[in-house]
Amino acid sequence: MKRTAIRLADGRELIYFDERDDAVRDQPDRRELPPPPPASQLRYDPLTDEWVAVAVHRQTRTFLPPADQCPLDPSVGDRLTEIPAPDYDVVVFENRFPSLSGRVADEPGDVTPFTPLRPGVGRCEVVCFTSDHNASFASLSPGRVRTVLDALADRTVALGELPGVEQVFCFENRGVEIGVTLHHPHGQIYAYPFVTPRSRAFLGAARRYAERTLGGNLYADVLAAERAAGERVVATNEHWTAYVPAAARWPFEVHVAPHRPVPDIPALDDAERDAFAPLYLDLLRRFDALFDLPMPYIAAWHQAPVRIDREFGHLHLQLFSIRRAKDKLKYLAGSESGMGVFINDIAPERAAELLRAA
């Protein structure tokens, strides 16, 4: 894989990840762009011990443009986009409308003595999986999936070295039902200046389990139990298992986990990276086959934090959809949104059975 970094017209970084060593990436960004926005504002919620980002500039971000105006397509002729090249394999660039960034304008004061403010320091990046606007992740070749995985590993390391970054989150949103604002197949990477609430819950449970069992690995033991039971396993190979969690929150939710406990994507070896693609592509195609239409989903990589509790992390990909039937979606209503208590309409065992049959 060849890696080439350039600067866009407004100073943001863009990196080409090419599958050919002879790829030439010397096309300049010919657009006239305003300076990137300053960092967002983080507000602390003392009632939940969580940080909330306020990023008012994102209100003007691009929203479902026509196909011929997609900013993630290659630049061709006078049609200039975020990617200056006329074609590409995988591209990663700084988001033009970031929730977090390193461009701090000033240090904010506090809202109240209970609600301190801080700059939204970090970084948000866009990952384009292919130059083909009409493709999807499920239509990628295994080789391209490997390139994407290597790019995510590269960015996880690089972003984890930025000052103040505590956690790196790689994910893909697919489908307007999920809330995507661009149809082009792409994902995102968030570099947070704190450990996220979801990860803190995972790590806390893992720490307590390790203390209780004198060093046991919670996720590894759960994975072993699921593999032994087999009822919720959807697919498996030498290095990975895809299974529906016994307490799945979403109608169709699958964890894709490596058999070897590793903290993050960079820790995967070559054999594990190669083995991921065929299993994951098969799983995505099963999702689409469930109702014979493109399945909206979120694919979220759970990685260990950058600096703390890495021994309690176990890398896994959480793939889930809000679609519960061909004509029905799962909405986060009163119990889920108000209290954080999920109520699933489909038994995890039934979901696994349907995915195996798809």
CA gap 16, 9 in Å, rounded: 16
- Angle CA 326–329–332, to nearest 5: 165
Annotated catalytic sites, by residue? 186
Contact 304, 316 (CB under 8 A): no
The amino acid present at 219, given as its one-letter code, is Y
CA gap 153, 145 in Å, rounded: 12
Contact 15, 92 (CB under 8 A): yes
CA gap 253, 234 in Å, rounded: 11
Residue 299, class by beta-carbon neighbours within 10 Å (0-12 exposed, 13-18 middle, 19+ buried)?
Answer: buried
CA gap 340, 333 in Å, rounded: 10
The helix or strand, by DSSP H or E, that contains position 90, with its residue range, turns out to be strand 90-94
User: Which of helix, strand or coil describes residue 243?
Assistant: strand
Contact 116, 40 (CB under 8 A): no
CA gap 209, 309 in Å, rounded: 13
CA gap 215, 183 in Å, rounded: 45
Contact 137, 185 (CB under 8 A): yes
